[in-house]
Amino acid sequence: ATNAECYNNSFAILSSSLVVGTDNFDMSYSIYSKIQNDTEYTDECLEYVEIESFTEHSECYYRNYIKSDSLNKTFNFSLDINPLTEYSVSLIYKVVNISDKFLLLGANWTTCFGNPDAPTDLRVNKKDQLLSLEWKKPVITNSPGICYYKVMRQFIGQSQIDEYQVTETKFNFSGDDLKKDFQVDIYAFNDVKCYIDEYPVARHCANIGQNTTRDNNNYVNK
């Protein structure tokens, strides 16, 4: 129980910062009391400050208990985020003996997808008239999953590039072409066309131009 009379909308944001990165969201904030005797009022009436994070599939709550000696001080908060997700984050506070929560700050955004790292651990097995390539998907995909790979072959001294699109992490070359020198580059692609059905927010990513990204690993046949 409290001896103080607590009021609606009695706290406000003093300063704030919101930064959305590739895989995390950072917030900093400080609050102040609108009541003249803020020390006693805060200790008696401010029940908690809470960050609420909502997506289509999850909701999280992060509660902070602030006393008068922490008024006007900056608090920092970081949240890991996933690609192709709509987020709604609110900073709210609760006053003692009042059932409502009061909004200090709100933010909504949609994450897209970014550049994948290069395919890793390229392994080559050359036997007779068969050259087998195998690799692992990038450690960091910056997407729900790699959409596809492109195997690019260019014979040494020639400008033409042969391109093969695959979804598996392996590919074979065979025949007389193995008698020639050539370079092979393997690219990992994130492409909106692979995500649009399962993740409707991908349409937003297509609209802002984050359509296709890639990184590569390579091998030279000699």
pLDDT of 128: 83
pLDDT of 47: 95
pLDDT of 177: 83
Cα–Cα distance for residue pair 14/195, rounded to 1 Å: 40
Q: What is the mean pLDDT of residues 160-181?
A: 92
pLDDT of 90: 96
> Which residues are CB-neighbours of 106 under 8 A, at least 6 positions away?
88, 89, 90, 91
| Band of pLDDT at residue 176, cut at 50, 70 and 90 | confident
Q: Do domains 11-110 and 120-221 have the same CATH topology?
A: yes
pLDDT of 211: 46
> Which residues are CB-neighbours of 69 under 8 A, at least 6 positions away?
none
Other beta carbons within 10 angstroms of residue 159's beta carbon come to 6
| Interior angle at CA 28, CA 208 and CA 71, nearest 5 | 155
Top-level CATH class of 120-221? mainly beta
Strand partners, 152: 163, 185
Residue 191 has pLDDT above 80, yes or no: yes
Domain ranges of the chain: 11-110, 120-221
Which pTM value belongs to this model? 0.74
pLDDT digit string, tens, across residues 96-111 = 999 999 999 999 998 8
Residue 216 has pLDDT above 70, yes or no: no
pLDDT digit string, tens, across residues 16-36 = 999 988 788 999 999 999 998
Residue 171 has pLDDT above 50, yes or no: yes
pLDDT digit string, tens, across residues 31-63 = 999 998 889 999 999 999 999 999 988 899 999
Tell which CATH classification among 2.40.50.140, 3.40.50.150, 2.60.40.10, 3.40.50.720 matches the domain 11-110: 2.60.40.10
- Distances in Å between the alpha carbon of 104 and those of 42, 84, 194? 16, 27, 38
Cα–Cα distance for residue pair 43/67, rounded to 1 Å: 5
